Structure 1
Amino acid sequence: MPYSEPRRGKLAYKFLFWFLLISLAPMGVVGWHLVNISQNVLKEESLRNQESLATGFAETTHNLITTFKTVLHVASRLDGFSSMDPVRQNQHLNRVMQQHPAFLELSVFDLNGLETIRKGRFLGARPELRNFFDNTVFQVASQKGEYVGDLRRFQGLYPTLTIAVPIVSMAQSRAVKRGVLLGKVSLNGLSQMLHQEFPDKGRAEAAVVAGDVRDSFLVAHSDPNKVFSRKAGLPDEILKVIMTQSAKKGGGNIALDDGSSVLGAYAEVKGVGWVVYVQQPIESAYLAATEMRKQIARVFLWVLIITPLLSLAVAGHITQPIRALQVAGEKLKMGEFEELPEITMTNDEIGDLAQSFLQMSDSLKEKTGELLHAKDELTKYGRDLERRVEARTRELKAAQDELIKKERLAAIGQMASVVGHEIRNPLAVINNSIFFIKTKLTKAGDMDPKVERHCSIIQSEVKQANGIIDEILTYSRQRDLKPEVVKLNFFMEDVLSIYPFPKHIQVVKHFDPRDPVVTIDTDEMRQAVRNLIGNGVEVMPEKGTTTVTTQIVDQHWVRLDIHDAGPGIPPDVLEKIFTPFYTTKARGTGLGLAVVHKAINRINGKVEVDTGPAKGTKFMLYLPLVPSGGAAPSGPIAQQQPMMPPPQAQPPGQAEGPPQTAVRFIDPSRGKGV
């Protein structure tokens, strides 16, 4: 593994880093603590201010309700009102509605709950009189002295409050109840007061809410648009905080569903159980802390600008002599001993380092000369040794390959001998015995169909076993090669014409019109082609196409393609298909493709396989072309048309001779041979 020099930081950058660390770290820690302290103080102060505002407005709301109750109490005790004189009552009620615009409606009820007078700003000239005897408002006011409640939205938008007080007359120093005075009051004034106190919608807001978490009523809000709505109300996360507290007032952080937080404070309105809520965004509460953070950031920025300049100035003074030593070291590393730069001898530790460096360079120059001489000698010996090792390695590799081949052939030959002598004889006896049994039973006339079927199965299996033995013996037999010069197109026509193709297989032929001539062992080549066609037919059990193609690829080679439309060969099986006795079938010897490989190798050809799930499998057999001045075709093929010389085309990337490995696989996922 080559040596890679580690990356080293510049000394000036290290000075810069430490200066920045020393200057910024304390400032950052102190600034962080100051900001945290200021945030806590501002948060507590903001909460106190908001609690004061909530308490003050709760008192204002209580006083407003008390004012409305006082107006009704005073009116109910006016001269003529307690005597239930309708004329005087009408006069007093008109005066009340003129002086107090908040009253939307005033009604007088007698002790039986019957409405005697009803006046309103939005009622007709003669409004309908009602019976309130069973109404909660009438019952509470007549029995307990007064009623405050029944919050509703007038016209579905504007919040109103119902206040009822008893009408009492004094008879012989004793109070006598004469009826009930009821008033419906508009609460829009509360929202107007809140809006005047909190005009900025983005910074702070306040609200008055009644009821509980499940059934709340928004009485007033600093933003009137949020009150005058049919679905007016505060968010549930705020209601859960302010409506479930047992304390009369309080506050703190409230997390909203949108991920933001606010500072909220609340105070209870005495007498009615309403809650005044005041909130302020966290950003507004921390405004001073944010400003402090900006100031600290400005200081940080100035430090970041000034510190690098100072550190670089200091580092430059320190690193200048060190940089000279670095340049000299680079010269030494490249072997330039005579071109060292001038080194200044300072009166400090760096000067001592420079002196030691010069002494080291002189010693290194002397030792380098000796090493170079030794290196030249070692290089000469090394080259000679490499040549000898390479030659010996080639010899050993060739001997090892030959030995493996001989051992494999010897093992196959021994197995074939055992199969021929020890298995064929029993199979022959079994076959003859089955034939004898069938003959005897047939003559006797009592042949059971089941017995006949099983006898046929035994004969079929014996035939299959004999076929396997023939394949093994054929592969292991070392017969002499019988080359013949044939026209490839005619040879393939002959093979295809006698092959028993099933009806569901379509045969497509594409033969090169130049009629290539090759030298092959016709028996071995015929068996190889039949094996490839048979494999293709087996993987297309229902329907398929077998395509046979011949093509001259260059002046030395012709290619014979046998292509099926099957599912293709899996990648894990592809590299083992030419291995003898390797098979993925339930029945078979695994010698079919090994026979193909052997037949092509014996004529110095080569095999390529192109396979894929969507394109089937194509075996490409490269056969050496017979030169145009070679021998004429022999055998019956010589009767065909005269031999045409192949064109002198440039070879498409093919070597002029067979490769070292005679089999080449095409990897469909990468589109190249492996």
Structure 2
Amino acid sequence: MHLYKKIFNLKNKLIFLFLVLALVPPVVFGIFSIKTTESVINNLVSRQIENIAADKAVILERWLQERKQDMQVVAGTSIVKSMEPGLIAPYLELVREQYRVYNNISIFSDKNELVFSTGDYPQGQEIRIVDGVHQESPATPPVKYLPKEKESTFQLTAPVYENGQKIGSVLGTVGTHNIISIILHVSLGETGECYLVDRNGTFLAHKEPSRILSENISHSGSFTNAFGPGERKNIYRDYRNIEVLGTSHKVEGTDWYIVVEQDKAEAFRSADSMKRLIGLMMLTAIGSAFVLTWVISYHFIRPIQGLSRSAKILAQSEYLPEGLDTMRRDEIGVLYRSFNDMAMKIKQRQDTLVEKINLKSAELEETGETLKHLKLIAERSEKFAALGRLGAAVAHEIRTPLTSLKLFLESIQGEIEISPEFIEDFGIAMGQISRIETAINRLLDYTKPKEMEFSKISPGYLIGDVVSLVRPMANKLECTIETIITPNLPEIRGDIKLLEEALINLFINALEVMPEKGRINIRASVTSYAPTEDENKMVPAVRIDVEDTGPGISPENLNYIFDPFFTTKAAGTGLGLPTVFNTVKRHNGEITAANRPEGGACFSIFLPVISEG
């Protein structure tokens, strides 16, 4: 019932009534106008395209027939029948000069031997003469494209008869530049085009020469419309997968087809403009209806609804309105002012109560943050204490007997001759002992860090030294390293050996997870950061970013990668990144890790610069 009253109130009824009166007539008229316009445009453009295709086909048919007649005329002259090269040469050159469409004209004897050619005809090439004039259904001459001349050519033949006996043949190579330029030129706006294809859909002539004889339309709507069964459509998708209006015409006597098309978007541009105009009219009608509704609501309905809503809100104590503003002097104005006085007194009492609650909440939140920070410090202190005890136990319980075992094996290596079949096993044993020693040393270095030797360090020198050390390993893995260092970086103070080890550790981690031909970017710039101990203080620092193109870090592992013994490697100790973390912290710096949007991980080190004072 409440929803029913809310939907069918007086204001919504007025809005609905005005919207119906304002929208129904223009919508009906607009739909009718758009449909009529689209139908008229479709018929006009289709008729224009059909006429152009028919005219182009007729022009090409007439031109082909003229070329066949040219061959008949040449074959019927007494000069050609003489089969004398000296007489034929000037005559054929005159024919080429007069017609300007023949790239070459050749005369062959009845044994298919070359008598004379106006151009270069390859010696020893097999000659196949097909009578392209007198056959009842002559085959379509094959088209060839000459990239250097940017022209398509084909050949026509005509037999040479003397007293009813065939004594030779005329072979003409016809250039199509002039006729094709006429065929391809169409006046159909900006997107209209005409092209020539064969029965298989292969381009024989096109405004883009690169498509000729190398591409076809067999998988497009153009091919289906021209050669497919069923009723032909005048709107389809062409070889560019663009919706077009088009048609095709067969060139009689050949298997060539003229195709004429125009983009549908351009053809129906005027209809689209009408759609936008009708849409604008509808928006105007909607706006007018809302304005008229607002005027009525403002003077008659809105004041009462506003007072009703405010009373309900005040009764439910969800929030207190700031007050109902009105300039009216009638009964509604008196009622508004009385309601405002009542709401103000309630608001004052509520503000006092909210202020007390906020103070208590802030105190509790601050206490919670303090306890959380103290708990984190206690957990880390307990973890490091356990690591210290573990390091001492490792040194006593594992390192001592391991050293003894290593010395024993080294001593017997020189005193006892080892059988050849055990030499490899002996080497593996010594290698595993060295590996365990390295892991123990890393653990001891982590639990009992060395004393730092501080000195002034140039960040550019530090990065250059580290890159020179890891570049051979990167080259072996076919990975590239790019350094991007801001000029004139300020100096930092620290232990250069520890900082080099930290950066090398980050480089090795990146190289181990990246595929071959990966990329590492190391950047250095001036910035400032807020220390963990005092987030309200900004410290000038040098920022060093090590970025890779590897798989990145799993989101669930980002919070644990600096914890001791946490590793995702099969043979990892989990002490590399914790050691880097400790080194940065001992330099009063910060280190963060994140995944790059384009892929890979980024480790950022912030080291405070030497203060000028």
Scaled to the shorter chain, the TM-score interval is 0.3 to 0.5
**Structure ID, larger Rg:** 1
Alignment TM-score, normalising by the size of structure 2: 0.46
